[in-house]
Amino acid sequence: MPELTDMNYVREVMNRHGFQTSKALGHNFLINPSVCPKMAELGNAKTGFGILEIGTGIGVLTKELAKRADKVVAVELDEKLFPILDETLAEFDNIKIIHGDALKYDLHTLIQEEFQGMETAVCANLPYYITSPLIMKLLEDRLPVKTITVMVQKEAGQRLCAPVGSRESGAVTVAVAYYGKAVKLFDVSRGSFLPAPNVDSVVMQIERYPENIWNVQDEALFFRMVKIGFSQRRKQLSGVLAGGMGISKADMKEIFNQAEIAPSVRIEALTMPELVRLSNAVSNKINQT
Ligand code: SAH
């Protein structure tokens, strides 16, 4: 079986199946042979583990995951890749590829049904056009996984591990901090892909806290507040939240008072404990009325 990082083979198999890469679907296939084995190893692909992958491409990472883990389940949106995958992954019987949009898929149920009796992890070279919403979803869905190991664009990687309360932070930074800790594993140059994107990439790993460490009373409300706040990150937070959450300015003033936060603050200046206090003060107010 030829290597899936052999450019001549990759071109040949795509031609034979009449497959053309699509920018809109984020097709950048890894052809650097050292990346996928390393990613699989660091990403917990090992005995006793089931791995969820998002976006298979022609299966270069899928294969390295399947060599090491008990089982791999991948969600892939592009049906045109399926006949290619039948060929490239033919030697494995521990891979299941599901046709679907990872942004809309019930990944929690999928993991529970497919990986019974195994520990689980996510490992994926993400389609870059949906990096943030996908990571938000993986975190908000509170997937029962040990680690989330993802390749993202360099800038997105910086955002993931920025300190909450810094200018580089965003809604996704807060989501990561809520759930666990993000660390950078290694850099991947743009020349490692076919076709080459115009930015470099980085492999990040989010390690989940074993239990909930923040005393957030209403998780859904917390995430909603954070998203609304960061949608107008340079404006005064109290005004943004009053408008976005349908709460009167007077009530919002009380909420900020209760949380002991200045109403003029911008969301990007708040630390995690402050965001938690604020969201709990909002829940209290809503429950009162
Ligand atoms: N892991 C492969 C491919 C990465 S390219 C490699 O490293 O070579 C991104 C892949 O994500 C493509 O296969 C693309 O078709 C798929 N994809 C794009 N949007 C998706 C979505 N919403 N849900 C699932 N897969 C998606």
Q: In 3-state terms, the chain is what percent helix, strand and coil (to 5)? A: 45, 20, 35
Ligand 1 within 6 A of 59 CB? no
Which CATH code for domain 219-288? 1.10.8.100
pLDDT digits (tens, 9 = 90+) for 186-201: 999 999 999 999 999 9
Residue 288: per-residue pLDDT: 85
Ligand 1 atom index nearest CA of 29: 8
Centroid of ligand 1 to alpha carbon of 239 (angstroms)? 39
CB 187 within 8 A of CB 200: yes
Ligand 1 within 6 A of 85 CB? no
Ligand 1 atom index nearest CA of 126: 9
Residue 289: per-residue pLDDT: 72
Architecture field, domain 7-208: 3-Layer(aba) Sandwich (3.40)
pLDDT digits (tens, 9 = 90+) for 6-26: 999 999 999 999 999 999 999
Ligand 1 within 6 A of 25 CB? yes
Kindly tell me the sign of the dihedral angle through the C-alpha atoms of 219, 220, 222, 227. Answer: positive
Residue 16: per-residue pLDDT: 97
Residue 157: per-residue pLDDT: 96
Residue 117: per-residue pLDDT: 96
Centroid of ligand 1 to alpha carbon of 29 (angstroms)? 9
Q: Domains of the chain: which residue ranges?
A: 7-208, 219-288
**What b-and-e string marks burial along 130-158, b requiring 16 or more CB atoms within 10 Å of the CB?**
bbbebbbbbbbeebebbbbbbbbbeebbe
Centroid of ligand 1 to alpha carbon of 42 (angstroms)? 20
For ligand 1, atom 15: residue with the closest CA: 78
Residue 50: per-residue pLDDT: 98
Centroid of ligand 1 to alpha carbon of 250 (angstroms)? 47
The DSSP secondary-structure symbol of 217 reads S
For ligand 1, atom 17: residue with the closest CA: 55
Centroid of ligand 1 to alpha carbon of 6 (angstroms)? 19
Query: What residue ranges of the chain have pLDDT lower than 50?
Result: none
Q: What angle do CA 50, 45, 130 make, to 5 degrees?
A: 80
